[in-house]
Amino acid sequence: MPDRSRTHDRTHDRAHDRAHDRAHDRAHDRVHDCVIGLDVGGTGMKGAVLDRSMRPVASLRRPTPRAEGPDVVVAAVTEALLDLGRPAAERGLTVRHAGVVVPGIVDEGLQRAAWSANIGWRDLPLAAVLERGTGMRVHLGHDVRAGGVAECALGAGRGMRNVLFVAIGTGIAAALLCDGRPVVSGGYAGELGHVVVEPGGAACSCGGAGCLETVASASAVASRYTALTGRTVSGAAEVAALTERGDPAARAVWERAADALAAALATVTSLLAPELVVLGGGLAEADALLLDPVRAGLSERLTFQRRPVLARAELGDRAGCLGAGLAAWQAAGYPDSHPPHLFRHA
C-alpha cells in the first residue's frame, strides 16, 4: 500500500515552497514581465511567451516526437521552453514561470504526469524534471482542463458557471466547470474519450474497446475513411471537406462520429447538467458540419434534462497554451489578469 501520509507531506512541502517563492518575489519587488505557456499534445506543441494581458510576445509551434519515446518528448519539451525564453531575454523581459500542460492523467498536487496513452509517460515527476532542465519554475497541468479554464476566462464560456469543454483531436478529453470551479478528482476527471459508445468495438490505446476516441477523434475519422475506401487522407479536415462535397464514405464516417459524440454528451448532460458545451480541437474546426448533427443527435436523446447550449470554442487551438499561461501567472502570484476562482478545484 502506498504511504499516503508521505504523499501528503510531499504535496504540502511543494506547495509551501512555491508559496514561499511567491512571497519572496513580492518582498523583493521582482518584476515578472512575462510567463511561458506550453501545450504539449500527442501530435504537436504550441507555446507562447505571454504578458500580463495574455498577449503573445513570442510563439512557437513544432511537432511532438512521440514516436521516438517518452524520454525524447521530455527533451523536446525542455528545448521548447528554452527556445521560448531566448527571445524574451533578448528583449530584456523577465520570465521565471512557465505553465506546461500535457494529455493523460495529471496529478497537479504532486506535479506529476501520472499516465498518458498517447505519449507513454507513467508516474513521471515532469515539473521537477523540466525545472532542472530550464531553471524556470514550472507548473504542470492537464491540457484540456487548461483549455477549459481559458475558454471560461477568455473565450466562449465567459460568465458561465457550469460548462463542459470538449477537445477533439488526436484523442478526446473534457474539462468540466461545475458551480464555477474546475472538477479535477485527483486528475482523473474528464476522460470522455474513454466512455464506451460501441460495446465490443475497435480496440483503444487505453486497453479498452469501443471507446469514443475510436470513433470520433480526428485520428479515428481519418483512419476509418481509409479503412472503408483504401484511400489515404491527410487528416480529419480532408474527410470533412469530402463530406461537404458529397462523398458517401466520408459522410458515413462523419455521421457515425457525430452520433457517437451526441451519445456521449447526452450521458454527461444527464449526470452533470452543463449549461454550455464548448467543442474545441481540430475536429471542431469543421464548425456547423460537426455542431449541427451533434446538436440534433443530443436533442433527440434528451427528454426532461436541461438542454445545454452547444458552441464552438472561440480560442481555437490556442486554448491549451493560453490556459497554461493563466496557470503560470497564478503560480507566480499574479491573479489580477484572470478570475482566480477558476483555479480553485471542486
Highest mean pLDDT among 7-11, 20-24, 116-120, 194-198: 194-198
The pLDDT mean for the chain works out to 89
The per-residue pLDDT for 335 is: 63
Measured at the alpha carbon of residue 334, what is the angle toward residues 332 and 340, in degrees to the nearest 5? 110
In angstroms, the CA 126 to CA 106 distance is 10
Between CA 163 and CA 337 the distance in angstroms is 21
Q: Residue 87 burial (CB < 10 Å; 0-12/13-18/19+)?
A: middle
Is the pLDDT at 167 greater than 80? The verdict is yes
Q: Kindly list the structural domains of the chain, giving each domain's residue range(s) and its CATH number in brackets, ordered by start.
A: 4-148+318-343 (3.30.420.40), 158-313 (3.30.420.40)
Residue pLDDT, tens place only, 313-331: 999 889 999 999 999 999 9
pLDDT band at 169 (very low <50, low <70, confident <90, very high): confident
What 3 state SS string does 225-258 have? Answer: HHHHHCCCCCCHHHHHHHHHCCCHHHHHHHHHHH
- What's the CA gap between 104 and 41, in Å, rounded? 10
Residues pairing with 124 in the sheet = 113
pLDDT at residue 206 in the model: 87
**98 three-state secondary structure:** strand
What pLDDT score was predicted for residue 5? 45
What percent of the chain stands above pLDDT 90? Answer: 73
Measured between alpha carbons, how far is residue 12 from residues 6, 33, 60, 107, 188 in Å? 10, 28, 34, 14, 20
Mean pLDDT for the stretch of residues 43-71: 94
pLDDT score for 2: 42
Is the confidence at residue 307, as pLDDT, over 70?
Answer: yes
Tens digits of residue pLDDT in 180-225? 888 988 888 999 999 999 999 999 988 999 999 999 999 999 999 9
Provide the pLDDT for residue 18: 52
- Banded pLDDT at 28 (limits 50, 70, 90): very low
* Residue 195 identity: V
10 Å CB burial of residue 90 (0-12, 13-18, 19+) is exposed
Report residue 119 as a C-alpha cell. 505519449
